[in-house]
Amino acid sequence: MAIVVKRKRNESKGELINRFRRIFMEEGIIDIVREKVHYEKPSRKRYKRQKEIDHRIDINERRSNG
Angle, to 10 degrees, between the axis of helix 29-37 and the axis of helix 13-27? 70
The pLDDT tens digits of the residues spanning 25-61 come to: 888 888 888 888 989 899 999 999 999 999 999 999 9
pLDDT at position 11 over 80: yes
| Cα–Cα separations (whole angstroms), residue 48 to 18, 35, 38 | 32, 13, 15
Label residue 4 by pLDDT band (50, 70, 90).
Answer: confident
d(C-alpha 49, C-alpha 65), whole Å: 25
